[in-house]
Amino acid sequence: MTDTGKSYHKQCTGEALQTVQRHAADEDITLFAGCFCPFVQRGWAALEYLGIPYKYYEVDPYKKPRELLEVSPKGLVPALRLSNYNPPRALNESTVIMDFLEDLASTSTKRTLLPPITDPYARALVRLQSDHINRTLVPAFYRYLQAQDPTTQITGEKEFKAGHRDARWAVRTCRQRSRWDWVVERGRRARMGGHHGWTLCVIIIHVDSFT
């Protein structure tokens, strides 16, 4: 990220600020975040949903402070500092971070962003739609956030809302496909997946949840 000289939010407000304040104490995981960044927001939402303890640390990625560069060489957010290692380790890139948090939760909080591992097809469907959202909805949302003049803001809003509707329709279609996939198990019908199995798509769709 390069400083463009334009104004942007440097602090959360409302319920997002309350969440930040609840996560001000030191933890094994520190989330380096820029509140305006949708890539931060989906990693942040994953931390909240999975119930993993963390500290929220707001940084300005346009200024690229030293402590951010130590965990993210390109100065991009989100990034994690993992203090339970000696010396501390780091991760960056939102999709990598979400995969890491999913694995971490499997041995700690027992929550998951994906359908159960016993249903690889349902997991593949979620990843398929997540990839679609990453390619279409997220860039549209970021352009909308960055728009400065009224004309560009109006265009960006329309593009984002259209992408949002398309993404929600795609997820509903996937869920309908999955509902018809029944298996016989111990003499009864059991549906694989479940309510929590679509959380990854929901988090990526609602990247604006904390703005």
The fold for domain 14-106 equals: Glutaredoxin (3.40.30)
> How far apart, in Å, are the Cα atoms of 201 and each of 112, 113, 125?
12, 8, 10
pTM exceeds 0.85 for this model:
no
pLDDT digits (tens, 9 = 90+) for 62-120: 999 999 999 999 999 999 999 999 999 999 999 999 999 999 999 999 999 988 888 89
Domain boundaries, the chain: 14-106, 120-205
